[in-house]
Copies of this chain bind each other. A is one copy, B any other.
């Protein structure tokens, strides 16, 4: 953009401020905590997917030397965890899945704790389990929660807009299919770890990787039945989150109760196997989707029904329809929508939040169906999308007020970079066993915060010292996405210094102002606006002093590159530190600091799921060129193209890294990743058996950043953290279909899935 050149920090690829500490192993993660007298905690997991607990005998375990605390449900407050309040941190009456917590131990070392677990005797009375949500819905299926009749979670998401039945009748073409999407994991490189420490005054300090320090503080207080103000949350370096730390889970409560009972700090760290088995996964779905269109390609209706395997308890997984819905109602223009869900308890493990929330699932089914619909219409898949493309200033059926929208540019850019015209639909004509194809898919996602809580705000405190060095105390959290660096750039830009001059403080609930948490791609936008606002207040003070010193009105002054100067006389510079010292070290001296709280001008959705929850929306398109081996079923991605409406690239390098990182998750979702679960048991709980993409699996990627300069964003930026993951599987799925001339309806598209489909097609041909 032309006005880019006037920025010193914005648009600059500043290396992550924490990069060296992390790369050199100096970063301190929760598992590195070492407090005086610290003990090690371990959890005893259920032996049955569904059973009554008749007796838990811990007497032997308690006698083991080195054991400082053994707890069971009896040691727990009666409160329960989770959005549906259905999850006791330790299970007393019955277990409902193999990852149920039955007891826990704190001991002087991990081996002793392990040994003690083996010495706890639990007597179960097994109950018939149910693992398939459609089975669980049936009359007479085993009841998992007494209060949940038919195993239906009381959560229910339904949306209606326009007249779907009339639109169906008026459609020239209608398509209908069922899709099945699997459990996948966040694969955080640091297994979940937390530390609890109580002081003599009954205050609890938690060292936690939580993404939501202030909601966490409130929730933990509620479940421990103590005042929130007595809980301090320290967030050490977080080794990956991706949504997996967006809820308060039993392990943190167990850690706190162990520490209380032992009277010593307790560190509770998951093994990699526990990380796979016991942390929440991405929510699996079964989707029945029907879509229609006019001959000319105008979309007429979408009618979808999602069945969610809730697992045994309710974390955020069950709530993904809230976002899933967005892609169904708002990706491409469609005026008649029906959306419904069945959220069913089973004896499987439960799911949680994961990058994109429900959007990757929703986008996959919608974008796969767009291709199928185009095929049926005899239209080009790109043309169909362009015809129904979202536009600036559009209002979607859910009431999302689109401001800037670069989707058309994204679609065209990707098509051009993919050589769409020449490569689309050429795959089948090739000879030999290798088939090539191209496909693309787009997304819409919140890009300016997401008002899912009553407050979507974030606070910031900025102080500038006598030497022009800046501290930003932000409510937001760094989970590896580089927000620290981006916020430093925004603050520095506003103050006319360099990002390197900014120290970001963001790890202590006692010090930092409130923030709702790091989720929904909101931090650059929300925390960025807060930081900018606080910095602007300080800047005004600096200019006021400078105008006295330079004898120029404030509005005639420029502040840049650590200096203040008259716009029309840039040689007459004053170093910022000097200006500050001047005002600081005089009679009635002042200090240069200010605070701000930014809560975006958005609204919560009403009970009908209508409301403009975000200041702006992000759009993007991904394109894939693939080569499928029809003999092995192997899919090779030859090339990916990403064109993303980012509003404004604050830090192009970090932005591209975010998109690439997201893409790698999308590639895994499309082709490799799947938690193999049988009878509620995870059969591949390791990086050997669970295939996340490595560098060798990553295709070459072209990234094009489309800058639409959003008026609401800090320096025009939109949030994009999740977006890299959202359309990837759909784009690859469409490319595979284009290569093979057949459609797959499940993920991941592992060789056996592809082969089965190819064989079936050949069989049909004979």
Contacts and interface: CB of A to CB of B under 8 A. Distances in A.
A201 B485 CA distance: 15
Interface string A24-38: 101000000010100
A503 B217 CA distance: 15
B593 A594 contact: no
A206 to B, nearest CB: 15
Interface string A170-205: 000000000000000000000000000001110000
A467 interface: yes
Interface stretch (A73-81, A111-119, A510-518, A685-693): A510-518
A468 interface: yes
Interface string A402-436: 00000000000000000000000000000000000
A103 to B, nearest CB: 29
Contact of A588 (B20, B214, B601): B601
A508 to B, nearest CB: 8
Contacts of A593: 459, 461, 513, 595, 597
Interface in A459-488: 459, 461, 463, 465-469, 471, 473
Given A459-B591, A465-B229, A473 B511 contact: yes
A232 B503 CA distance: 10
A639 interface: no
A139 B466 CA distance: 46
A696 interface: no
Given A200-B24, A513-B593, A585-B454, A468 B599 contact: no
A753 interface: no
A701 to B, nearest CB: 29
Contacts of A589: 454-455, 457, 597, 599
A465 B505 CA distance: 18
Contacts of A457: 584, 589, 591
A455 B218 contact: no
Contacts of A501: 229
Contacts of A765: none
A615 to B, nearest CB: 13
B228 A467 contact: yes
A467 B214 CA distance: 11
Interface in A103-137: none
A232 to B, nearest CB: 8
A529 B135 CA distance: 69
B510 A471 contact: yes
Contact of A36 (B26, B513, B588): B26
Contacts of A26: 36, 199-200
A591 B227 CA distance: 19
A466 B514 contact: yes
A591 B229 contact: no
Contacts of A36: 26
A466 B587 contact: no
A21 interface: yes
A603 interface: yes
Interface string A206-235: 000000001000100000000111001000
A590 interface: yes
A461 B459 CA distance: 13
A20 B454 CA distance: 39
Interface string A512-554: 0110000000000000000000000000000000000000000
A5 interface: no
Nearest to A600: B588
A586 interface: yes
A229 B585 contact: no
Interface in A594-616: 594-595, 597, 599, 601, 603
A298 to B, nearest CB: 37
A199 B20 contact: yes
Contacts of A591: 457, 459, 513-514, 595, 597
A465 B514 contact: yes
Given A585-B454, A586-B454, A588-B601, A227 B467 contact: yes
A20, A229, A461, A591 pick with most chain B CB within 10 angstroms: A591
A285 B510 CA distance: 48
Contact of A218 (B24, B466, B586, B590): B466
A500 to B, nearest CB: 8
Interface in A436-471: 453-455, 457, 459, 461, 463, 465-469, 471
Nearest to A595: B593
A603 B589 CA distance: 12
B510 A584 contact: no
Interface in A11-45: 20-21, 24, 26, 34, 36
Contact of A511 (B24, B469, B505): B505
| Ranked 4 nearest A-B pairs via Cβ | A229-B469, A591-B597, A454-B585, A20-B200
Interface of A: 20-21, 24, 26, 34, 36, 199-201, 214, 218, 227-229, 232, 453-455, 457, 459, 461, 463, 465-469, 471, 473, 500-501, 503, 505, 510-511, 513-514, 584-591, 593-595, 597, 599, 601, 603
Given A21-B199, A453-B585, A455-B584, 8 more contacts: A24-B200, A26-B36, A228-B467, A457-B589, A461-B461, A505-B511, A589-B597, A593-B595
20 contacts: A21-B200, A201-B500, A214-B465, A228-B465, A228-B466, A454-B585, A455-B589, A457-B584, A457-B589, A459-B591, A461-B593, A463-B595, A471-B510, A471-B511, A511-B511, A514-B584, A588-B599, A588-B601, A589-B597, A591-B595
